[in-house]
Structure 1
Amino acid sequence: MKPTKLILALCCLTVFSAKAQRTISAKIVDSTKQEPIPFATILIDDKTGVISNDKGEFNITINRKISNTDSLFISCLGYEQKQFAIQNFRDSIIPLRTKNIDLSEVFITNKDYTIDEILDKAKESLETNYDFGFAKRKLFYRESYYTNMLKTDVKIEESTIPEFNQAFVDSIIRSVPKNTDQHTEVLGEIYGKLKPSTPQKMDILKASRLYDKESEITFENYEKRFNEIIRKHVKRNSYFKIKSGWFGTKEEIDSSFFVDKKEEKETAEFIEKKKELEAKRKANFLNWRKGSIHNLENANFLNEDSDLNFIEKSRRYEFEMQDFAYFNNEFVYTISFKPKRSEDYEGTLYINTQDFAIVRVDYKNVKPLRKFGLLGISLNEYLKEGTIIFQKNTNNKYTLKYVDETNGQQVGIKRPLKIIEKNKHVKGRRKQNELAADLHFIVRNIEKKELIVFESTPISETEFNNFNEVPEVTPTYLPAYDPEFWKGYNIIEPNQAIKDFKIIEKTH
């Protein structure tokens, strides 16, 4: 083929590829309030699609040639469904109108059910409404972890080691970022039963980890500096007495502090091997994420052991009928719940009026899930909230469609610390060195998990057994958010914190 013909062929192929793929990005808002609508369903030809994030944003890609009959369907709980021709769609803001419910349209039966009767029917229908068999789930999972250091005070009261002074401690504290975040994203397919503690297999199609890798190196440097100071001042055969508040412990000095050059090299090699083993353990990304995803899949009312099992524990809650709503082209009961006595959550159940399937749950804790303080150490698990959505699969059974869960905890340490070096082989006083300080740390952690199941396809046990995993899968490390990484893939649109993520270069 002549060069000119080759170039022409490549150009034609490029043009065809561009036409064969279309990405739509937009934001869904309430037409009256102009507020974002989270968790709206966006479908291509009423079959496959994505869900808008908590800001109403979505991004969907069609990886084929678009015809004039292709449509985009947008629906959300309580709103009228909208349909657009994809070829002509150019909007960046999509307003949805609330749907007025005409009770004459609602087909319930000849009887008006009480709340207790509705809940009883929902319980009785759990086994028949939901699919607990083998299935292949194509999904996208995102886990974000945010840390905020609210307080980092260390006041040196006494130190016989000159290098362990207030300036050294302050430099370490300054090096620790006050706000950090990291994000893991996985696109893949999971095979197995949708039941707790059942074997699962996973095929990871693409994955990334967005975090600051350099922070690990920083702490290694401080560890090296710390060891140098210890070698200089601490004597052989010493041991530490560590006191904090009323308690004390005895710690022997690691002999690796006092090795010669040959031993130091051997020790360094030994430590390096340990680090490699730890890295391999962390590199077992497949099992780590497969377990996280399967646990999230079972953190709902279908699992008797889940703290979100509002149905089996219904006697512990007060339920109130709110209204009817329109959800996925069907009418649902809207029933709010709150704890009678000691339960932890309040929220809303959405129950299909025809088959009594629970199709959505919104929940939030009403009090700390765990809270204690003892001898200057405190823990407050102050937040757990989320949304769970189910929809029907090809078996006409309900399977998990979407999960959004946020957990928050705050940890505090406020107590004195005293470290005393003692050595019984040194003449005179056993006490050699002493370090006394007051500590006050407060750390707040937020963990957010999101899961969308694009397709849930029933499979046989034989298909499950015949699938072979590829265990050595590692995610792509991203030092900054890269909009090109997921281009052409359907995922949950990232929030602003992820889009803004980048490593700030450290000054030395």
Structure 2
Amino acid sequence: MTTLKPFYILVSLLLFSLNAYAQEVSGKVLSNTKQPIPFATVQIGDGYGVITNEEGRFTINTSAFKRTDSVNISCLGYKKLGMLVKDFSASEYILKEQVNELSEVYLTNRNLSVDSIMYYVGKNIDKNYNTQNIDYKIFSRRTEYIRGHDVDLEIDKSTGVSKKQLKDINNDINQLETSLLNNRSKQYTDLVANLKILNESSSKLEVEKAVRFLDEKNDQSLEKLAEKGKNLVSNHLDKSKIYTVKSGWFKLSDSVSLNTPENNKMEDTINSVGLLKEVMLEKITENSISTNSQLDFVYETKKYDYSLTDVTFLNSEMVYVVAFKPKRGSVDYQGTMYISNATFAVLRADYRFYEGRVGEKFNLRLLLGLKYVEKGKKGSVIYKKSPDGFYYPRYISEQADRYFYVNRPFKFTENGNRSQKFAFDFKVEGTFKEKTELLFISQSPLLTSAYNTLKEKKKVPYKTAKSYSAEIWKDYEVLEPLQELKDFNVEE
């Protein structure tokens, strides 16, 4: 019998040990009552970690750590759970609620009123938060879909159109109506990018990787609806003719040629780095703790009612739990803030529209047949303290429902032969639903040299995937997808 030399045994054991811990750990963080805990931090060592998604799930790579390194799972209001990497292999982790007599004592014998707490929050905004000269690495996930309420296309006049053409047009109309009303597909967009913010007016974006999970056959984005409507008309008109186009009282054009090659201006705009940067900056600015953000409940203290509902803890740090709602009609939000007792920084804010409140809107339904209302908006923002003493966003989630209504007549009149006309009424009503999540992978001071040398590209290198796979983001720290994205699959 052949025997292994001690050297080879040692090497084999070493390789086995390395392979055993070179892995990804996936699990779920739950409360005592087995409820998922969203936005809990799962951290290895001092600077590496992820947060749980809304289902309490996470995935983290442990390959860069030793088996004796520490793992900590923590969340506001719960006791921190610690272990070693070698023991970090369970599918579920239970966090116990942090009940401390200090909170009861404080609430019954408090020396600091909620008005005083909010005063110190406002006084320390500039001291606690920094919004410029920052180099962020960000993972972004957007979920978009439309819920159609009503679609109606009615042909008013169709001179020069045969019965067969008319039948084909009606078939296309029925298909468009059915697809909007019955479709339940969603579009997901994941990407990792570096956002360099010099100041309020100067920033650059570098996209590392971008993936769309999209069923192109059932794409119900607003731009696709517009494209389908345009094609529905152009496919049934003589492309060799020139037309004058009117909508209601307004002449849209007097020289439309349907034979002109399709331009991709809309597609170019949607895929542009500039638009993506604008959207990302808007979310960061809106959810910043400053006197020009949408989080006016932090600084418009005379317009909100506040109540101190609890005192909890983030590890050993005492945290005030402050509920807020509008006192006056000029503000919109209700929700909860979690405020540090040590620095009076807002560590987390959960907000939503107060009952009856809406965001941007316009109503020209009677004059132009157009209506738009932003409603159902809600969000969460979590901040983390950096070694430089400032708090920076760790996670932002925002979602909104945008109701839209379009009811417009269109008339195509052939130039040179005014008797040849094609007219139809177009009505569509629905709600565009959008959710944006930003996970801030890292943050560091922006180097002027790095900013100046970066040449911003024009287009985002999107790739389209027909199903979700963990392999897509295996080399990145990203947000664990919800089950609906894991189940995404486009059938051939």
TM-score range relative to shorter protein: 0.7 to 0.9
- For residues 160-239 of structure 1, the aligned pairs below 5 Å read 160=159, 161=161, 162=163, 163-165=165-167, 166-174=170-178, 178-193=183-198, 197-214=200-217, 226-231=233-238, 239=244
Is contact 2:78–2:313 with CA below 8 Å preserved after alignment? yes
Is contact 1:420–1:431 with CA below 8 Å preserved after alignment? no
Is contact 1:41–1:51 with CA below 8 Å preserved after alignment? yes
Is it true that 1:347 corresponds to 2:351 in the alignment? no
Q: Which residue of 2 aligns with 1:120?
A: 119
- For residues 71-110 of structure 1, the aligned pairs below 5 Å read 71-103=70-102
Post-superposition CA distance 1:391-444 (Å, at most 9, x none): 11121221111111111111123x573636376x55xxx54435454x542211
Q: Kindly tell me: are residues 19 and 494 of structure 1, through their superposed partners in 2, closer, same or farther at Cα, counting changes over 3 Å? A: same
Structure 2, unpaired ranges of 5+: 1-11
Q: Distance in 2 between matches of 1:157 and 1:278?
A: 29
Q: Distance in 2 between matches of 1:199 and 1:490?
A: 27
Q: Kindly tell me: are residues 171 and 326 of structure 1, through their superposed partners in 2, closer, same or farther at Cα, counting changes over 3 Å? A: same
Q: Kindly tell me: are residues 291 and 106 of structure 1, through their superposed partners in 2, closer, same or farther at Cα, counting changes over 3 Å? A: farther
Q: Distance in 2 between matches of 1:242 and 1:202?
A: 39
- For residues 329-408 of structure 1, the aligned pairs below 5 Å read 329-342=316-329, 343-366=331-354, 367-371=357-361, 373=363, 374-375=365-366, 376-408=369-401
Post-superposition CA distance 1:247-292 (Å, at most 9, x none): x2335564635xxxxxx6xx54xx4xx43x665555533x333332
Is contact 1:137–1:456 with CA below 8 Å preserved after alignment? yes
Is contact 1:361–1:389 with CA below 8 Å preserved after alignment? yes
Q: Kindly tell me: are residues 416 and 302 of structure 1, through their superposed partners in 2, closer, same or farther at Cα, counting changes over 3 Å? A: closer
Q: Distance in 2 between matches of 1:283 and 1:237?
A: 31
Structure 2 residue matching 1:112: 3-state secondary structure: coil
Post-superposition CA distance 1:7-53 (Å, at most 9, x none): xxxx9999787446321111112112x22111111111243211111
Q: Kindly tell me: are residues 172 and 253 of structure 1, through their superposed partners in 2, closer, same or farther at Cα, counting changes over 3 Å? A: farther
Is contact 2:31–2:96 with CA below 8 Å preserved after alignment? yes
Q: Kindly tell me: are residues 435 and 187 of structure 1, through their superposed partners in 2, closer, same or farther at Cα, counting changes over 3 Å? A: closer
Q: Kindly tell me: are residues 201 and 321 of structure 1, through their superposed partners in 2, closer, same or farther at Cα, counting changes over 3 Å? A: same
Which range is displaced more, 50-59 or 197-206? 197-206
Q: Distance in 1 between matches of 2:456 and 2:205?
A: 6
Is contact 2:195–2:206 with CA below 8 Å preserved after alignment? yes
Q: Distance in 1 between matches of 2:279 and 2:86?
A: 39
- Give percent identity, aligned residues only: 27
Quote the offset at 1:175 in angstroms. 5.0
Structure 1, unpaired ranges of 5+: 1-10, 258-263
Is contact 1:368–1:380 with CA below 8 Å preserved after alignment? yes
Q: Kindly tell me: are residues 288 and 434 of structure 1, through their superposed partners in 2, closer, same or farther at Cα, counting changes over 3 Å? A: closer
Q: Kindly tell me: are residues 434 and 208 of structure 1, through their superposed partners in 2, closer, same or farther at Cα, counting changes over 3 Å? A: closer
Q: Kindly tell me: are residues 452 and 106 of structure 1, through their superposed partners in 2, closer, same or farther at Cα, counting changes over 3 Å? A: farther
Q: Distance in 1 between matches of 2:136 and 2:234?
A: 50
Quote the offset at 1:447 in angstroms. 1.1
For 2:166, the aligned partner's letter is: F
Is contact 1:148–1:180 with CA below 8 Å preserved after alignment? no
Which range is displaced more, 370-379 or 480-489? 370-379
Q: Kindly tell me: are residues 369 and 470 of structure 1, through their superposed partners in 2, closer, same or farther at Cα, counting changes over 3 Å? A: closer
Is contact 1:406–1:446 with CA below 8 Å preserved after alignment? yes
Post-superposition CA distance 1:41-71 (Å, at most 9, x none): 111124321111111111111232x423222
Structure 2 residue matching 1:53: 3-state secondary structure: coil
Quote the offset at 1:155 in angstroms. 4.2
Q: Kindly tell me: are residues 67 and 482 of structure 1, through their superposed partners in 2, closer, same or farther at Cα, counting changes over 3 Å? A: closer
Structure 2 residue matching 1:164: 3-state secondary structure: helix
Structure 1 residue matching 2:171: 3-state secondary structure: helix
Of 293, 299, 308 in structure 1, the residue corresponding to residue 286 of structure 2 is: 299
Q: Which residue of 2 aligns with 1:31?
A: 32
Is contact 2:79–2:97 with CA below 8 Å preserved after alignment? yes
Q: Kindly tell me: are residues 410 and 87 of structure 1, through their superposed partners in 2, closer, same or farther at Cα, counting changes over 3 Å? A: same
For 1:499, the aligned partner's letter is: K
For 2:29, the aligned partner's letter is: I
Is it true that 1:53 corresponds to 2:40 in the alignment? no
Q: Structure 2 length normalisation: TM-score? A: 0.83
Q: Kindly tell me: are residues 241 and 349 of structure 1, through their superposed partners in 2, closer, same or farther at Cα, counting changes over 3 Å? A: closer
Q: Which residue of 2 aligns with 1:5?
A: none
Is contact 1:150–1:178 with CA below 8 Å preserved after alignment? no
Q: Distance in 1 between matches of 2:226 and 2:339?
A: 51
Q: Kindly tell me: are residues 240 and 121 of structure 1, through their superposed partners in 2, closer, same or farther at Cα, counting changes over 3 Å? A: closer
Q: Which residue of 1 aligns with 2:141?
A: 142
Structure 2 residue matching 1:454: 3-state secondary structure: strand
Q: Structure 1 length normalisation: TM-score? A: 0.80
Q: Kindly tell me: are residues 199 and 14 of structure 1, through their superposed partners in 2, closer, same or farther at Cα, counting changes over 3 Å? A: farther
Q: Distance in 2 between matches of 1:252 and 1:323?
A: 62
Is contact 2:287–2:396 with CA below 8 Å preserved after alignment? no
Query: RMSD of aligned C-alpha atoms?
Result: 3.4
Structure 1 residue matching 2:278: 3-state secondary structure: helix
Is contact 2:157–2:421 with CA below 8 Å preserved after alignment? no
For 2:387, the aligned partner's letter is: T
Which range is displaced more, 137-146 or 222-231? 222-231
Is contact 1:301–1:310 with CA below 8 Å preserved after alignment? no
Quote the offset at 1:364 in angstroms. 0.4
Is contact 2:286–2:295 with CA below 8 Å preserved after alignment? yes
Q: What is the aligned residue count?
A: 464
